[in-house]
């Protein structure tokens, strides 16, 4: 595990139902006198693993949490792993935080959605790319890539790749155009 600290949480902002549920249960159990911090984290090939530490009532509990790396940005993945570590730490204090915390993390996007996200990033890195990609979305009468129906994804990807492909293909070298005997045609 890396010893890098991600954050110290005394009161995470309730920006999701899972955080709200965890914070509420901890506040009830410990009269708002608790803290949570990330002790360390590790980025593995397919997941982020976080070691979290929950301190309350003069006691400390540490537990691991994890989240798969699939289509979400790193911040969302780190938050999901941190939430999992916090939930697991709370359970060591005998606190149940409600039903299915894993439901709070959206399902991984399909391979086509992942490809469209890659294409979007490539287009948006070009000069004027962000407005250009918004134009693509308008072309397909949507305001975000999440609004594109799964069955329309191949058309959108194909359109983007056709319109925004690199301007020139690599130029073949002269050696590649010589006949197999190595002599040029004169």
Give pLDDT tens digits for 165-181: 655 544 444 444 444 55
Co-location of 64 and 131 in the same domain: no
pLDDT over 70 at 19, yes or no: no
Co-location of 145 and 115 in the same domain: yes
The whole-chain average pLDDT of the chain stands at 75
* Order of strands across the sheet that contains 59-68: 8-9, 34-43, 47-56, 59-68
d(CA 137, CA 148): 9
Would you say residue 131 lies in a domain? yes
Name the residue range of residue 12's domain: 8-104
Q: How many domains does the chain have?
A: 2
Co-location of 116 and 96 in the same domain: no
Co-location of 38 and 56 in the same domain: yes
As a whole-number percent, the residues of the chain with pLDDT over 70 amount to 69
d(CA 111, CA 117): 10
Would you say residue 84 lies in a domain? yes
Co-location of 97 and 142 in the same domain: no
Co-location of 115 and 154 in the same domain: yes
Give pLDDT tens digits for 118-157: 888 888 888 888 888 888 889 889 888 888 888 998 999 8
Co-location of 21 and 91 in the same domain: yes
If one compares 2 and 123, the residue with the highest pLDDT of the two is 123
- Give this prediction's pTM: 0.46
Could you tell me the CATH number of the domain that includes residue 29? 3.30.390.80
For residue 95, give the H/E element and its range: none
Give pLDDT tens digits for 45-63: 888 999 999 998 888 999 9
Our CA angle for 22, 31, 20, nearest 5°, is 20
């Amino acid at each position: 595990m890396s010893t890098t600290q991600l954050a110290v949480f005394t009161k995470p902002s309730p920006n999701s139902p899972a955080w709200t549920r965890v914070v509420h249960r901890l506040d009830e159990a410990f009269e708002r006198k608790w803290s949570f911090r990330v002790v360390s984290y590790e980025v593995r090939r397919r997941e982020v693993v976080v070691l979290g530490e929950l301190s309350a009532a003069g006691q400390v509990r540490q537990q691991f949490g994890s989240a798969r790396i699939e289509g979400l940005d790193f911040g969302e993945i780190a938050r999901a792993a941190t939430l999992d570590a916090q939930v697991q730490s709370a359970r060591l204090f005998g606190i149940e935080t409600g039903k299915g915390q894993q439901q709070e993390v959206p399902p991984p996007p399909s391979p086509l959605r992942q490809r469209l996200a890659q294409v979007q990033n490539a287009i948006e890195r070009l000069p004027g790319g962000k407005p250009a990609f918004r134009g693509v979305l308008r072309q397909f009468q949507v305001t975000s890539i999440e609004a594109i129906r799964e069955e329309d994804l191949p058309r959108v990807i194909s359109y983007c790749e056709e319109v925004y492909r690199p301007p020139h293909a690599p130029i073949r070298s002269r050696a590649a155009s010589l006949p197999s005997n190595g002599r040029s045609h004169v």
